[in-house]
Amino acid sequence: MSINFKNAIVRLPSESIINAISSKGLSPDFLKAKEQHQAYIDILKKTGLDVKILNPLKYLPDSLFVEDPALIYNKICIILKPGVVTRLEEASKLKIEISELFDQVFTIENGNVEGGDILRIKNHFIIGISSRTDEVGAKNLSKIIKKIGGTSEIAVTPENILHFKSECSLLDEETILATENLIETGFFEKKYQIIKVPKGEETGANCLRINEQLLIPKGYTRLLDILSKDYKVRVLDVTEMEKVDAGLSCLSLRW
């Protein structure tokens, strides 16, 4: 199941988060980011997850975004290859820290692929080509997914979107929340039920469904009104993470 989980991995932020990559040219406040991250951990625990907390990596400012360098499917871990040179060491460090938790561990050796570009629906994976994920990486990931019993397809992320999941997320196993940008590509047409993100609230599209709860970021009132009609929602403040192009899903690995 792609919405039911028992475990999660998170990494504590370090003071170097002020130097994390930001397309907006913004710098998070470390203490506020730390508070928001702790609230995120608390919510994961309240949803019933056993949370493994990794120590901060002081010299890797983006390393708290643990979803980008790895993908977990059941008890199998795939170590990915980030598309930014400064983040490559995150993958090698993560492999050492978490490999013992899984029955099998695979590694992407060629091409680039980041977890922010991978949307899982049951045993199916949509891999978005973006500035961080290239075709070589996507195809190599597809081969591994096939080997471990899953299926995949490759989509193209619009140029003005950092990651595929920056503007979409899974609400349940039949329904995707997506922005107009992604909907207009036609990729989702006739394949999935779609709920459209209100115009002007596109950065709220990265929600996170965990068991019976749907976590949504703070500050998107129209989106909250829409989703609270059909889902048990919890609102989380991740405004400091949004300064560095991050959202709810990238802060944890779940299985």
The label of the residue with tokens 């643990």 reads 66
Digit-coded pLDDT (tens) for 79-132: 999 999 999 999 999 999 999 999 999 999 999 999 999 999 999 999 999 999
* Structure-token pair, residue 238: 């991740």
Q: Which domains does the chain have, with CATH numbers?
A: 7-254 (3.75.10.10)
Q: Residue 189 has what pLDDT?
A: 87
Is the pTM value of this prediction over 0.85? yes
Please give the distance of CA 201 from its chain centroid, rounded to a whole number. Answer: 18
Q: Which of 37, 77, 163, 207 is catalytic?
A: 163
Strands 70-73 and 76-79: antiparallel
Active site residue 207: no
Q: What is the pLDDT of residues 32-69, one digit of tens each?
A: 999 999 999 999 999 999 999 999 999 999 999 999 99
Q: Which of 77, 168, 207, 250 is catalytic?
A: 250
Q: Is 250 a catalytic residue?
A: yes
